[in-house]
Amino acid sequence: MMSELYVGGAAGDLIVGAIRRFADRPAIADERQRWTYRELGETIGRLITFFDQLGLKKGDAVSVLSSNRVESWAIICAAAVMGLRYTPLHPLAAEDDHAFIIDDAEIDALVVESGKFSERGLAIQARAPKLKHLLSLGPIAGARDILAELPGCASAPLQPASCAEDLCWLAYTGGTTGKSKGVMLSHRALVTMTVTLYADWDWPQDIRYLAATPISHAAGVTVFPVMYRGGFTRLLPGFDMEAYCRTIQDEKITCAFLVPTIIYGLIDAHEVRARYDLSSLDMIVYGAAPMSPDRLLEGMKIFGRVFVQLYGQTEAPQCITTLRKADHDPANIKRLGSCGRPSPLVQVKLLNAELEEVDVGEPGEICVRGPLVMNGYWKRPDATEETLKGGWLHTGDVAVRDEDGYLYIVDRTKDMIISGGFNIYPREVEDALMAHGAVASACVIGVPDEKWGEAVKAFVVLKSGANVDAATLQAHVKDKRGAPWSPKSIDFVDAVPVTGLGKLDRKALRAPYWEGRSRGVS
């Protein structure tokens, strides 16, 4: 057993420190209740008592399937303080994905919100023979209701039990490029992330943070630096344009995290925005997917220079690079296409296949090392060795660097289209399409083609009331990028598919075109 001398420097220490430091400040609220930091701490203490009575101990594993609610966040915090290993479940994922994760992660206790997720929880239990405890937030037949039992539990003292290298989260990748993998994130990685975000983002003086996307993922880990700064978090159970804008006005929200597709919707929702005062917004953080520079410029005209971009991935969460407010210069639209410069505490290089750093302006894979990086993939030594080869985390993202050190992501290596001998990255075509005034969003894939090997195909969503034909957009891209980048075909659709994490789901679009084929071109 590790000596008490080495306990500390963990996520639990940050949580407990915030609770003690900011006891009477408002901490977190949802649609039903509001807690101060002291009340959050009391609930965490009761959860620790409840989990202890179940027999859960340091190193055991807990998972939560829920919408955004204060109890879910309290469970995440209790796990970190106790030294339990927490695995998030995305509420929009399919049953097969949930069942796979619960089994693969060897979860001991699953907490499920009653109502919307009752049937899913019971279905997962039936498919997960190693699961010891099915717990619930609200009544579910066959599950122990935490909300009913918690009032009878004494609030345990908050005594963090972990050291920096203990596993804190086992978070699964989105699976857009293959089978989902469990990413082992130590307390050290999450503390590094928290301190980096604390220092590197342009936080408002009065932090009132709104999370409408699932706190199981990026919107949730952002709550750690909010707590560290003594800020207030307001949770919404999902994104509804009217409710979102009303909440900004009523709660005087100063900062928010959004994925680009939602920002596009907010930009285009002229009538809804006009009904509410959104002037309190001082920082809008965006990430999880690239954002069109032209659409970002539209957002800046509406909200001002309030945008901050994060770039990270599950294996190095939230802060590989940052594009700060000052970098969002409307006079420099090229820089709006950047994901920023490397964050403190990480080393970032663009490497070629021989692990040599490429020159300025040359494409290379973004590779990262430092205390932010994962320990490896859970039970996947081969994948770990491949992804961490040479001592670097290989992100799978291709970028170029300019003379000032800003990185510009070209695309995922696996999404690259090889057409007529040209290497074409979908992001390049998507940005060109969205530079047209009629286009709201776009997604580009490669499809089989006898002549070209792969042909560029685009799926386009037009802005409300806009009208443009495929030939016009093809000519527009040809003028912007060149003939090889111009889509050979364009489908006009009502919406482009996105994953539960808000990323363009190119895999879903590709599937019908590549079914039954061996895709040897990328």
* pLDDT score at 521: 33
How crowded is residue 411: how many other Cβ atoms within 10 Å of its Cβ? Answer: 24
Q: What is the pLDDT of residues 263-300, one digit of tens each?
A: 988 999 999 999 999 999 999 999 866 678 888 999 99
pLDDT tens for each residue of 467-495: 999 999 999 998 887 787 899 999 999 99
245 Cβ contact list (under 8 Å, min separation 6): 269, 272, 273, 275, 276, 278
Is-contact 379 229, C-beta < 8 A? no
Enclosing H/E stretch for 265: helix 260-268
pLDDT of residue 454: 80
Find tokens 């089994």 and name the residue. Answer: 103
The residue to which tokens 């009575």 are assigned: 53
Report the candidate in 408, 442, 422 with the shortest Cα–Cα distance to residue 521.
422
Element (H, E) at 136: strand 133-137
Enumerate residues 6+ apart whose C-beta is below 8 A from 324: 200, 201, 202, 308, 340
Express the helix, strand and coil content of the chain in percent, nearest 5 each: 35, 25, 40
Angstrom distance (rounded) from CA 432 to CA 160: 50
pLDDT at position 73:
98
pLDDT range class, residue 500, cuts 50, 70, 90: low
**CB distance 267 to 300 below 8 Å:** no
Which of 419, 420, 491 shows the shortest CA–CA distance to 456?
Answer: 419
Q: Which residues pair with 351 in a beta bridge?
A: 357, 365
Q: Are the CB atoms for 488 and 449 separated by under 8 Å? A: yes
How does the average pLDDT of the chain come out, rounded? 91
Q: What is the mean pLDDT of residues 6-26?
A: 94
Residue with the bigger pLDDT between 348 and 509: it is 348
Residue 135 is encoded by which pair of tokens? 């717990």
Residue-level pLDDT at 1: 43
Report the C-alpha gap between 508 and 80 in whole angstroms: 35
Q: Are 15 and 227 in contact (CB under 8 A)?
A: yes
User: Against a cut of 0.85, is the pTM above it?
Assistant: no
Question: Of 42, 43, 44, which Cα lies nearest the Cα of 11?
Answer: 44
Mean pLDDT, rounded, for 114-134: 96
pLDDT, one tens digit per residue, over 182-209 is 999 999 999 999 999 999 999 999 999 9
Note the pLDDT tens digit of each residue in 405-426: 999 988 666 677 867 656 677 8
Residue 39 dihedral angles phi and psi, to the nearest 5°: -70, -35
pLDDT for 5:
56
d(CA 241, CA 268): 11
For 376-389, the pLDDT digits (tens) are: 999 999 999 999 99
Of 100-114, 241-255, 315-329, 429-443, the least confident: 429-443
**What confidence score (pLDDT) does residue 98 get?**
92
